[in-house]
Amino acid sequence: MLILSLSDSLFIDIQLPVREILTYGIGSIATFVILFIIYLISNQIVKKFEKRPDNEIASKLRKNLKVPIVLLIIIFALWLPLSFTEVPEIISNAANKILTILLIAIFAWILIKLVNLIKYFVLKQYDIDRKDNLKARKVYTQFRIIERILVFLIILVAISLALMTFGEIRRIGVSLIASAGVTGIILGFAAQKMIGGILAGIQLAITQPIRLDDVVVVENEWGRIEEINLTYVVVKIWDQRRLVLPTSYFIEKPFQNWTRTSADILGTVYIYTDYSVPFEEVRKELTRILQDCQYWDGKVNVLQVTNSTEKTVEIRALMSAADSSTAWNLRVHIREHLIKFLQKNYPDSLPRSRVIITKEKE
Protein backbone atom coordinates (compact mmCIF):
# COMPACT_ATOMS: atom_id res chain seq x y z
CA MET A 1 0.00 0.00 0.00
CA LEU A 2 2.85 2.34 0.86
CA ILE A 3 4.50 1.67 -2.48
CA LEU A 4 1.22 2.30 -4.33
CA SER A 5 0.61 5.58 -2.50
CA LEU A 6 4.15 6.79 -3.25
CA SER A 7 3.78 5.90 -6.90
CA ASP A 8 0.43 7.70 -7.05
CA SER A 9 1.90 10.86 -5.52
CA LEU A 10 4.87 10.76 -7.89
CA PHE A 11 2.48 10.27 -10.81
CA ILE A 12 0.47 13.31 -9.76
CA ASP A 13 3.66 15.41 -9.34
CA ILE A 14 4.86 14.41 -12.80
CA GLN A 15 1.49 14.86 -14.45
CA LEU A 16 1.05 18.43 -13.24
CA PRO A 17 4.02 19.94 -15.27
CA VAL A 18 3.15 17.80 -18.30
CA ARG A 19 -0.44 19.03 -18.21
CA GLU A 20 0.64 22.66 -17.90
CA ILE A 21 3.22 22.30 -20.65
CA LEU A 22 0.54 20.83 -22.92
CA THR A 23 -1.75 23.72 -22.04
CA TYR A 24 1.07 26.15 -22.78
CA GLY A 25 1.72 24.46 -26.12
CA ILE A 26 -1.94 24.61 -27.14
CA GLY A 27 -2.11 28.25 -26.07
CA SER A 28 1.02 29.07 -28.09
CA ILE A 29 -0.36 27.39 -31.20
CA ALA A 30 -3.71 29.17 -30.81
CA THR A 31 -2.00 32.53 -30.26
CA PHE A 32 0.24 31.97 -33.30
CA VAL A 33 -2.73 31.08 -35.50
CA ILE A 34 -4.66 34.19 -34.42
CA LEU A 35 -1.69 36.52 -34.90
CA PHE A 36 -0.75 34.92 -38.20
CA ILE A 37 -4.31 35.33 -39.52
CA ILE A 38 -4.14 39.02 -38.54
CA TYR A 39 -0.78 39.25 -40.34
CA LEU A 40 -2.18 37.63 -43.51
CA ILE A 41 -5.17 40.01 -43.54
CA SER A 42 -2.85 42.99 -43.09
CA ASN A 43 -0.59 41.63 -45.82
CA GLN A 44 -3.49 41.45 -48.26
CA ILE A 45 -4.51 45.03 -47.43
CA VAL A 46 -0.93 46.20 -48.06
CA LYS A 47 -0.89 44.33 -51.40
CA LYS A 48 -3.96 46.28 -52.48
CA PHE A 49 -2.14 49.52 -51.73
CA GLU A 50 0.82 48.28 -53.82
CA LYS A 51 -1.37 48.19 -56.94
CA ARG A 52 -1.77 51.93 -56.81
CA PRO A 53 0.69 53.92 -58.95
CA ASP A 54 3.77 55.38 -57.23
CA ASN A 55 3.15 53.40 -54.05
CA GLU A 56 6.53 51.77 -53.65
CA ILE A 57 6.68 52.40 -49.90
CA ALA A 58 4.06 49.75 -49.07
CA SER A 59 5.79 47.19 -51.31
CA LYS A 60 9.24 47.80 -49.80
CA LEU A 61 7.89 47.69 -46.24
CA ARG A 62 6.08 44.40 -46.88
CA LYS A 63 9.07 42.72 -48.55
CA ASN A 64 11.74 43.93 -46.12
CA LEU A 65 9.77 43.42 -42.89
CA LYS A 66 8.12 40.09 -43.79
CA VAL A 67 10.67 37.82 -42.09
CA PRO A 68 11.13 39.96 -38.92
CA ILE A 69 7.35 40.26 -38.44
CA VAL A 70 6.83 36.49 -38.80
CA LEU A 71 9.55 35.90 -36.21
CA LEU A 72 7.92 38.53 -33.99
CA ILE A 73 4.61 36.66 -34.23
CA ILE A 74 6.34 33.42 -33.21
CA ILE A 75 7.93 35.09 -30.18
CA PHE A 76 4.63 36.63 -29.05
CA ALA A 77 2.94 33.26 -29.55
CA LEU A 78 5.51 31.69 -27.24
CA TRP A 79 5.47 34.55 -24.73
CA LEU A 80 1.80 35.44 -24.19
CA PRO A 81 0.68 31.98 -22.96
CA LEU A 82 3.26 32.13 -20.15
CA SER A 83 1.03 34.65 -18.34
CA PHE A 84 -2.04 32.36 -18.08
CA THR A 85 -0.39 28.93 -17.62
CA GLU A 86 1.29 27.55 -14.53
CA VAL A 87 4.52 26.41 -16.15
CA PRO A 88 7.24 25.62 -13.59
CA GLU A 89 9.09 28.73 -12.51
CA ILE A 90 12.50 27.48 -13.60
CA ILE A 91 11.16 26.93 -17.14
CA SER A 92 9.20 30.18 -17.29
CA ASN A 93 12.16 32.25 -16.07
CA ALA A 94 14.51 30.74 -18.64
CA ALA A 95 11.89 31.13 -21.40
CA ASN A 96 11.25 34.76 -20.44
CA LYS A 97 14.96 35.62 -20.64
CA ILE A 98 15.47 33.86 -23.97
CA LEU A 99 12.34 35.37 -25.51
CA THR A 100 13.22 38.84 -24.18
CA ILE A 101 16.66 38.66 -25.80
CA LEU A 102 15.15 37.43 -29.08
CA LEU A 103 12.54 40.19 -28.94
CA ILE A 104 15.23 42.83 -28.47
CA ALA A 105 17.23 41.37 -31.37
CA ILE A 106 14.21 41.37 -33.71
CA PHE A 107 13.22 44.93 -32.79
CA ALA A 108 16.82 45.99 -33.49
CA TRP A 109 16.64 44.17 -36.83
CA ILE A 110 13.39 45.97 -37.71
CA LEU A 111 14.89 49.35 -36.79
CA ILE A 112 17.95 48.67 -38.98
CA LYS A 113 15.65 47.67 -41.85
CA LEU A 114 13.67 50.91 -41.40
CA VAL A 115 16.88 52.97 -41.44
CA ASN A 116 17.90 51.24 -44.70
CA LEU A 117 14.49 51.92 -46.22
CA ILE A 118 14.59 55.60 -45.25
CA LYS A 119 18.04 55.87 -46.84
CA TYR A 120 16.80 54.10 -49.98
CA PHE A 121 13.80 56.43 -50.48
CA VAL A 122 15.84 59.57 -49.81
CA LEU A 123 18.75 58.62 -52.09
CA LYS A 124 16.37 57.48 -54.81
CA GLN A 125 15.56 61.12 -55.50
CA TYR A 126 19.19 61.90 -56.39
CA ASP A 127 21.13 60.56 -59.37
CA ILE A 128 24.83 60.30 -58.57
CA ASP A 129 25.66 59.24 -62.16
CA ARG A 130 24.81 62.66 -63.57
CA LYS A 131 27.61 64.94 -64.72
CA ASP A 132 26.60 67.74 -62.36
CA ASN A 133 26.05 65.56 -59.29
CA LEU A 134 27.29 67.84 -56.51
CA LYS A 135 24.03 67.86 -54.52
CA ALA A 136 23.60 64.09 -54.99
CA ARG A 137 27.11 63.39 -53.70
CA LYS A 138 26.47 65.64 -50.71
CA VAL A 139 23.27 63.78 -49.76
CA TYR A 140 24.83 60.35 -50.42
CA THR A 141 27.77 61.18 -48.16
CA GLN A 142 25.57 62.40 -45.32
CA PHE A 143 23.20 59.44 -45.40
CA ARG A 144 25.96 56.83 -45.74
CA ILE A 145 27.66 58.07 -42.58
CA ILE A 146 24.42 58.75 -40.69
CA GLU A 147 23.20 55.23 -41.55
CA ARG A 148 26.36 53.65 -40.13
CA ILE A 149 26.11 55.75 -36.97
CA LEU A 150 22.46 54.81 -36.43
CA VAL A 151 23.10 51.10 -37.06
CA PHE A 152 26.03 51.20 -34.63
CA LEU A 153 23.87 52.87 -31.96
CA ILE A 154 20.97 50.44 -32.50
CA ILE A 155 23.25 47.43 -32.12
CA LEU A 156 24.96 48.96 -29.08
CA VAL A 157 21.63 49.69 -27.35
CA ALA A 158 20.28 46.21 -28.23
CA ILE A 159 23.34 44.48 -26.75
CA SER A 160 23.11 46.65 -23.64
CA LEU A 161 19.40 45.86 -23.14
CA ALA A 162 20.05 42.15 -23.70
CA LEU A 163 22.80 42.14 -21.07
CA MET A 164 20.56 44.03 -18.64
CA THR A 165 18.16 41.07 -18.58
CA PHE A 166 20.72 39.16 -16.49
CA GLY A 167 20.65 40.28 -12.88
CA GLU A 168 24.23 39.18 -12.22
CA ILE A 169 25.60 41.27 -15.07
CA ARG A 170 23.49 44.26 -13.94
CA ARG A 171 24.98 44.07 -10.46
CA ILE A 172 28.48 43.76 -11.89
CA GLY A 173 27.79 46.77 -14.10
CA VAL A 174 26.64 48.88 -11.16
CA SER A 175 29.72 47.96 -9.13
CA LEU A 176 31.97 48.70 -12.09
CA ILE A 177 30.34 52.09 -12.63
CA ALA A 178 30.81 52.89 -8.92
CA SER A 179 34.55 52.12 -9.11
CA ALA A 180 35.26 53.17 -12.68
CA GLY A 181 37.09 56.43 -12.03
CA VAL A 182 40.65 55.29 -12.72
CA THR A 183 39.54 52.57 -15.12
CA GLY A 184 37.60 55.10 -17.19
CA ILE A 185 40.64 57.34 -17.49
CA ILE A 186 42.81 54.41 -18.59
CA LEU A 187 40.23 53.23 -21.12
CA GLY A 188 39.78 56.79 -22.36
CA PHE A 189 43.48 57.10 -23.14
CA ALA A 190 43.53 53.65 -24.73
CA ALA A 191 40.47 54.32 -26.93
CA GLN A 192 41.17 57.95 -27.79
CA LYS A 193 42.21 57.13 -31.37
CA MET A 194 39.10 55.05 -31.99
CA ILE A 195 36.84 57.71 -30.45
CA GLY A 196 38.70 60.40 -32.39
CA GLY A 197 38.13 58.45 -35.62
CA ILE A 198 34.40 58.12 -34.92
CA LEU A 199 34.11 61.84 -34.10
CA ALA A 200 36.06 62.65 -37.27
CA GLY A 201 33.58 60.55 -39.26
CA ILE A 202 30.67 62.49 -37.75
CA GLN A 203 32.48 65.75 -38.53
CA LEU A 204 32.96 64.64 -42.15
CA ALA A 205 29.21 64.04 -42.44
CA ILE A 206 28.43 67.53 -41.09
CA THR A 207 31.14 69.74 -42.66
CA GLN A 208 31.76 67.60 -45.79
CA PRO A 209 35.29 68.54 -46.86
CA ILE A 210 34.95 65.45 -49.06
CA ARG A 211 31.95 63.70 -50.62
CA LEU A 212 31.42 60.46 -52.46
CA ASP A 213 32.89 60.55 -55.99
CA ASP A 214 34.92 63.69 -55.23
CA VAL A 215 38.19 63.94 -57.16
CA VAL A 216 41.07 64.39 -54.73
CA VAL A 217 44.85 64.39 -54.64
CA VAL A 218 46.12 62.77 -51.42
CA GLU A 219 49.60 61.49 -50.66
CA ASN A 220 50.58 62.61 -54.19
CA GLU A 221 47.97 60.24 -55.66
CA TRP A 222 45.06 61.27 -57.93
CA GLY A 223 41.80 59.44 -57.32
CA ARG A 224 38.12 59.48 -56.42
CA ILE A 225 36.43 59.06 -53.05
CA GLU A 226 34.92 55.56 -53.29
CA GLU A 227 33.80 54.92 -49.69
CA ILE A 228 33.32 57.08 -46.61
CA ASN A 229 32.95 54.98 -43.47
CA LEU A 230 32.77 55.97 -39.85
CA THR A 231 36.50 55.44 -39.20
CA TYR A 232 38.15 55.26 -42.63
CA VAL A 233 37.90 56.54 -46.21
CA VAL A 234 38.70 54.58 -49.38
CA VAL A 235 40.18 56.49 -52.34
CA LYS A 236 40.08 54.75 -55.71
CA ILE A 237 43.31 55.73 -57.48
CA TRP A 238 43.39 56.18 -61.26
CA ASP A 239 45.26 52.87 -61.79
CA GLN A 240 42.59 50.88 -59.85
CA ARG A 241 44.54 50.72 -56.59
CA ARG A 242 42.78 51.63 -53.34
CA LEU A 243 44.23 54.07 -50.82
CA VAL A 244 42.69 53.57 -47.36
CA LEU A 245 43.03 56.53 -44.99
CA PRO A 246 41.60 57.26 -41.53
CA THR A 247 38.80 59.80 -41.46
CA SER A 248 40.93 62.01 -39.22
CA TYR A 249 43.37 62.44 -42.16
CA PHE A 250 40.86 64.66 -44.01
CA ILE A 251 40.36 66.79 -40.89
CA GLU A 252 43.99 67.19 -39.83
CA LYS A 253 46.03 67.21 -43.07
CA PRO A 254 45.87 69.30 -46.26
CA PHE A 255 44.74 67.68 -49.51
CA GLN A 256 43.40 68.76 -52.90
CA ASN A 257 39.70 68.48 -53.70
CA TRP A 258 39.10 69.24 -57.37
CA THR A 259 35.29 69.00 -57.15
CA ARG A 260 34.60 70.71 -53.84
CA THR A 261 32.14 73.31 -55.15
CA SER A 262 31.26 71.97 -58.62
CA ALA A 263 31.91 69.00 -60.86
CA ASP A 264 33.24 71.02 -63.83
CA ILE A 265 36.96 71.67 -63.98
CA LEU A 266 39.57 73.50 -66.05
CA GLY A 267 42.27 71.56 -67.86
CA THR A 268 45.67 72.86 -68.91
CA VAL A 269 48.11 71.76 -71.61
CA TYR A 270 51.65 73.14 -71.81
CA ILE A 271 53.48 73.17 -75.14
CA TYR A 272 57.13 74.26 -75.49
CA THR A 273 58.06 75.77 -78.85
CA ASP A 274 60.63 77.88 -80.60
CA TYR A 275 60.39 81.68 -80.69
CA SER A 276 59.36 81.52 -84.34
CA VAL A 277 55.99 79.83 -83.65
CA PRO A 278 52.94 81.73 -85.06
CA PHE A 279 50.74 82.22 -82.01
CA GLU A 280 47.59 83.20 -83.88
CA GLU A 281 47.70 80.08 -86.04
CA VAL A 282 48.12 77.87 -82.98
CA ARG A 283 45.24 79.71 -81.31
CA LYS A 284 42.98 79.09 -84.32
CA GLU A 285 43.98 75.43 -84.42
CA LEU A 286 43.17 75.04 -80.71
CA THR A 287 39.67 76.46 -81.33
CA ARG A 288 39.15 74.09 -84.27
CA ILE A 289 40.29 71.05 -82.27
CA LEU A 290 38.06 71.96 -79.33
CA GLN A 291 35.00 72.45 -81.51
CA ASP A 292 35.49 68.98 -83.00
CA CYS A 293 36.14 67.34 -79.62
CA GLN A 294 33.35 65.61 -77.69
CA TYR A 295 35.07 66.22 -74.33
CA TRP A 296 34.89 70.05 -74.46
CA ASP A 297 31.87 71.67 -72.77
CA GLY A 298 32.13 74.88 -74.82
CA LYS A 299 32.85 77.27 -71.93
CA VAL A 300 36.59 78.04 -71.76
CA ASN A 301 39.04 78.27 -74.71
CA VAL A 302 42.22 80.25 -74.04
CA LEU A 303 45.76 80.10 -75.45
CA GLN A 304 48.40 82.17 -73.62
CA VAL A 305 52.16 82.57 -73.61
CA THR A 306 52.93 81.97 -69.95
CA ASN A 307 56.73 81.86 -69.91
CA SER A 308 59.85 82.16 -72.01
CA THR A 309 63.43 81.07 -71.53
CA GLU A 310 66.61 81.56 -73.54
CA LYS A 311 65.70 78.45 -75.57
CA THR A 312 61.91 77.97 -75.63
CA VAL A 313 58.54 79.65 -75.30
CA GLU A 314 55.94 78.13 -72.96
CA ILE A 315 52.39 78.13 -74.35
CA ARG A 316 49.46 77.20 -72.14
CA ALA A 317 46.17 75.99 -73.58
CA LEU A 318 43.32 76.36 -71.10
CA MET A 319 40.01 74.54 -71.65
CA SER A 320 37.02 73.40 -69.62
CA ALA A 321 35.25 70.07 -69.19
CA ALA A 322 32.19 68.73 -67.34
CA ASP A 323 34.20 66.71 -64.82
CA SER A 324 37.74 65.65 -63.98
CA SER A 325 37.72 62.38 -65.97
CA THR A 326 36.52 64.20 -69.08
CA ALA A 327 39.08 66.95 -68.46
CA TRP A 328 41.87 64.36 -68.43
CA ASN A 329 40.74 62.91 -71.78
CA LEU A 330 40.40 66.43 -73.18
CA ARG A 331 43.94 67.38 -72.11
CA VAL A 332 45.64 64.37 -73.68
CA HIS A 333 43.55 64.87 -76.86
CA ILE A 334 44.53 68.55 -77.19
CA ARG A 335 48.20 67.88 -76.40
CA GLU A 336 48.46 65.20 -79.08
CA HIS A 337 46.72 67.20 -81.80
CA LEU A 338 48.61 70.43 -81.12
CA ILE A 339 51.92 68.58 -81.40
CA LYS A 340 50.75 66.96 -84.66
CA PHE A 341 49.76 70.39 -85.97
CA LEU A 342 53.20 71.84 -85.25
CA GLN A 343 55.00 68.82 -86.67
CA LYS A 344 53.03 68.99 -89.91
CA ASN A 345 52.75 72.74 -90.51
CA TYR A 346 55.55 74.39 -88.52
CA PRO A 347 58.33 71.88 -87.90
CA ASP A 348 60.83 74.72 -87.55
CA SER A 349 58.84 76.02 -84.59
CA LEU A 350 59.60 72.97 -82.45
CA PRO A 351 62.22 73.49 -79.71
CA ARG A 352 65.77 73.42 -81.02
CA SER A 353 69.22 74.51 -79.99
CA ARG A 354 70.98 77.16 -82.06
CA VAL A 355 74.69 77.08 -82.61
CA ILE A 356 76.41 79.98 -84.36
CA ILE A 357 79.80 79.22 -85.90
CA THR A 358 81.99 82.17 -86.82
CA LYS A 359 85.14 82.02 -88.83
CA GLU A 360 88.26 83.44 -87.31
CA LYS A 361 89.94 86.26 -89.22
CA GLU A 362 93.23 85.33 -90.81
* pLDDT of res. 171: 58
CA 130 centroid distance within chain: 19
Q: Alpha-carbon distance 294 to 298, whole Å?
A: 10
Q: Convert 93-118 to b/e letters by CB count within 10 Å (16 or more is b).
A: eeeeeebbbbbbbbebbbbbbebebe
Question: Burial of 326 by CB count in 10 Å (0-12 exposed, 13-18 middle, 19+ buried)?
Answer: buried
Mean pLDDT by 10 residues, the chain (362 residues): 43 51 65 72 65 63 76 75 65 74 86 85 74 70 78 83 70 49 52 65 77 84 83 85 88 82 78 90 92 88 88 89 83 92 88 70 57
* pLDDT of res. 170: 60
* pLDDT of res. 2: 39
* pLDDT of res. 192: 60
Domains of the chain by residue range: 17-125, 144-262, 265-349
362's CB contacts (< 8 A; 6+ apart) are: none
Spell out where 154-255 has E strands.
215-218, 221-228, 232-237, 242-246
- CA nearest 130: which of 283, 294, 276, 264? 264
Neighbours of 284 (CB within 10 A): 13
- The CATH number of 265-349, from 3.20.20.70, 3.30.750.24, 3.10.450.50, 3.30.70.100, is 3.30.70.100
- CA nearest 109: which of 147, 67, 73, 162? 67
* pLDDT of res. 14: 43
DSSP structural state of residue 359: P
Domain at 144-262: CATH code: 2.30.30.60
* pLDDT of res. 10: 42
* pLDDT of res. 16: 46
